[in-house]
Every structure is written in structure tokens, then in C-alpha cells.
Amino acid sequence: MKIEKARPYVVKNLKYALNPSSIAVVGASRYPTKVGNKVIYELVKWGYKGKIYPVNPRADEVLGFKAYHTLRDIKDPVDLVFVAVPAHLVRSIVEDAVSIKAKMMVIATSAFKEIGRGELQNDITEYCRKNELPLIGPNLVGMGSPYQHFNCGFIPYLPVPGPVAMISQSGANLLAALGTSQMSHFGMSFFVGLGNKADVDFSEFIEYANEDPNTKCLAIYIEGLDSPEAFVDSCRKVSKPIVVIKVGRSKIGVKAAFAHTASENPNSDAYYDKIIKDAGAIRATTWQEFLDVSLALGNQPALNGDNIVMITNGGGAGLLSCDHFERLGLSLHELKEISPMLEQRIRAYMPMFGSPLNPVDISGTASVIQYKGAFQQAFRDPNVHGVLGAICPTAVTDVLGTAKAAIEVYDSCKELGKPFIMICQGGEECREAIMLLRDHGIPAYPTAEQAVNAMVALYRYGTRKK
């Protein structure tokens, strides 16, 4: 429901959604297949250290925890009330939550506005607002933070810790991102599924993320904005990069977005384009680009100029990259234009048949020492703004050795503030190299175009900052 701008009492209380000392789970079930059971199971599994109060009118114990018949029976303070009971029961739970002075309400239950029950949803929202009890949801999947070992919802994974805060309207896409996080070492600071956004809105999580010390980049998935002014206002206060993906642009998507999270999209895609621009955010088109760009912005500084040097052992990756740079309006410059000295220096690290254009092709025979030398020369040249490296697995390539050398060079050149991005296109050892690089803060990707998308986003962020 519309807000004018982010409400301070909500922003202040969001810490109880992401780092509560105690949680009451209303609808906690004794049966492992039920969602109300999964919530507690996942909390325990991922190491939640606070108090857990299952609430179930017909149980005295759930998963080893003493159960309460109602919220009012809990005599200790409750930070967070998590609700997973059928929609028609929710209103009275909210009243109970207010009466026990809970700090935060999360309603996971579906079947509200998205199936036509707008009145019920609005009634609950108004009640919560009147009582200053912030409500997240309904129709959501959950939230958590790897830094707090906190996984609260119907969520089978906790992401690996890292710099990206993911604020998602969709639960399923959030789950997918959390899975990707574990599998591909995409680090997150916290995550939340907003669902129908009956009360708490994007803007409030955006302001929270700006204060969160673990968050370096905000990744926001939007199906529809109820409060575009508040969104823009909050984004403009943020000193960190923001990446946005907005879906539901298609004619059929408008209907589907309503059925999904009750999002109303009367406005065109161009309307959202303008909002995202006004907000100073970077817009991603595809899901992959959304993740790739967020990873880069979370880990790397802005690119403060267009002198990018690409170093590769494969001409093919180089060509795919320079085509894609041009497609995105940021063509590479020839090495001799960037720095005539660099062309000479880098020749020492390639065979006679290598190519010192840009991409710099140090050839399929490139050794770890040659890579290291070429990377160092590129980083240390004062005319160079950023470095893109690529490893292709020829029969003589030491993929992991090269990744380790890249990490060494990067660590020794970090104070220069130049972005570094890697491509490792190939099989299992490239996958391993990607993980290793990511674990050391270097965004690495399996295809050239993904890496170029990331580098261009760092450039756009640099331009916007100015």
C-alpha cells in the first residue's frame, strides 16, 4: 500500500526482521512436510542463535521446542512474529502481535490481494500502520542473512556471505538466487522476499541496506512499484551502487505480475526506465545480467574512465569481448592509444605470434609468469583504468595457477582502485578458478559477454557518481 516516503519507525525496526533475538512462528506444524514446520527446521539447521517460540493451538512441542497455543501465551518479549496460517486467520494473529508488543510482523501466507482479497489485505495493513507494527508480506518466502546464520522462511539455502543485499518481490527468483549464491559463490549480506508489499516497501529496505555495514551493493527485483516517489527518494539517499531488474513489461506479464504478487503495472516500461534512471540505479535486462552486474558492483570500485585493457590467452574470448563492448557503447581502445609504453612492456610477456592490440592476446601458450607480468604491467600503467583478464583452457594452460597469480597481482594493486574482472570459459577447472577468484573478491564469469556486462556496469556507475 502506497507510502509517501520511507517511514523511520519501519526502517528502524527492520533489524528485527533480519537479526531478531526471538521469533514466534505462528502455524508451526509438527509434520515435516508442512511449511510451518520447515520454517523452524531451517532456522535450527542454519544455526539461528535466538529464541524460537512455535505457536500452534493443538501442540505442546514442535521440533523439540515448547509450543504455545496462542501468541498471548508467550510471556517473554518477541521481536519477530512469522505467520504461516490460512489467510482468514491472519487478522486475529496481527491483533495478538500488537498486544504482546512484537517489533516486526512477517506474513508468509498467500491468497490475499493476488487472488482478489484486496480488502482483507488492506484491513490488516491499516491495522498494522495504526499500531506502528511494520508488516512484511503477505505472500512471501522469507528473509535472512548469512552473517547472522539466520534463514527464516521456506528457504532451502542460506547464501554465502558477501557484499550484495538482495531485495526481491518474487520469492521464487529469490530462492533461485540463493541457490546460485551457494553454488557459484555469489556472496550476499542479507536477502528478503517482499511478496505483496502490503506495508513495508522497497524504500524502507533500501534505507536499511544503506546503513548495513555488510552491504556494498543493493540488488533489487521489482514486479511493480506502489510508491515510486518513495523508491526514488530512498535510492537517492544511498551511497552504494543499486542494480534493478524490473519485470512484467509484457502485455501478458502485466496480468501475471498481478496474479503473482498483486503488482499493478498500469505504466509502460519506459515509465520504469525513467524511475530507475532518476533513482541513479543501474538497470539489468536479464536475470543473469542482474546477478553478474550485482556481483561486480558489490566487489569492485567504479571504473573511472574507458581505458580498459584486456589480457587473454585466446583470441576468441577477446573478439567476443570487444564486439560486446562495442554493442554496449563502450568500445575498447588500441593499446598504443592508451599507452605506447605499455605496448612495449607487455610484449615481454608474450610470444612473437601474440598480438599486442587490445585485447592483448598473449597466446594459447601463455604461462602463469607471462600472465602475471602482463597483468602487472596493465595495472601499473597510469593511463589504464581497469583490467579484464581471460583464461581459456588450452592443453598447456595452468588454469588454477593463473587464477592464483591473478589474485596475487590484484592484492598487490588493490590500492590503485582499478577494477579487475576475469573470464574463465571452459570446463570443471575453469569453474573452480571462478570460485577461487570470487572468494578473493574478483568477479569472474564463464563467458566473455557476462564479464563485459559487468565491466560496463562499473563504468556506468562511475559516470553516475560523477
Binders of its own copies in range 419-458 (CB under 8 A): 425-431, 446-450
> Nearer Cβ to its own copies, position 81 or 310?
310
Q: Binding to its own copies by residue 187, rule CB under 8 A?
A: no
Q: Binding to its own copies by residue 248, rule CB under 8 A?
A: yes
Q: Cβ(139)–Cβ(186) under 8 Å?
A: no
Q: In a 3-state reduction of DSSP, which class is residue 250?
A: coil
Give the nearest distance from C-beta 76 to its own copies in angstroms: 27
Binding characters for its own copies, 24-63, by CB under 8 A (x = yes): ---------x-x--x---x---------------------
Q: Binding to its own copies by residue 348, rule CB under 8 A?
A: no
Give the nearest distance from C-beta 377 to its own copies in angstroms: 19
> Nearer Cβ to its own copies, position 176 or 416?
176
Q: Binding to its own copies by residue 77, rule CB under 8 A?
A: no
**Measuring CA to CA, how many Å separate 10 from each of 7, 92, 125, 330?**
5, 21, 13, 41
Q: Binding to its own copies by residue 145, rule CB under 8 A?
A: no
Cell of 217: 551493493
Give the nearest distance from C-beta 196 to its own copies in angstroms: 12
Rounded to the nearest 10°, the torsion over CA 31, 35, 39, 44 is: 40
Binding characters for its own copies, 265-304, by CB under 8 A (x = yes): --------------------xxxx----------------
User: What does the angle CA 317 – CA 413 – CA 405 come to, to the nearest 5 degrees?
Assistant: 55
Q: Cβ(399)–Cβ(429) under 8 Å?
A: yes
Q: Binding to its own copies by residue 157, rule CB under 8 A?
A: yes
- Alpha-carbon distance of 278 to 393, in angstroms, equals 43
- Footprint on residues 376-415 left by its own copies (CB under 8 A): 392-396
Q: Binding to its own copies by residue 114, rule CB under 8 A?
A: yes
Among 78, 83, 155, 346, binds its own copies (CB under 8 A): 155
- Footprint on residues 350-369 left by its own copies (CB under 8 A): 352-353, 355, 357-359, 361, 363-365
> Nearer Cβ to its own copies, position 250 or 344?
250
- Alpha-carbon distance of 320 to 249, in angstroms, equals 29
Phi, psi of 95 (to 5 degrees): -60, -45
Beta strand 150-153 pairing with 444-445: unpaired
**Measuring CA to CA, how many Å separate 222 from each of 207, 243, 454?**
16, 11, 20
Listed residue (328, 249, 338) closest to 292, CA to CA: 328
Cell of 323: 564486439
Give the nearest distance from C-beta 391 to its own copies in angstroms: 10
Q: Binding to its own copies by residue 178, rule CB under 8 A?
A: yes
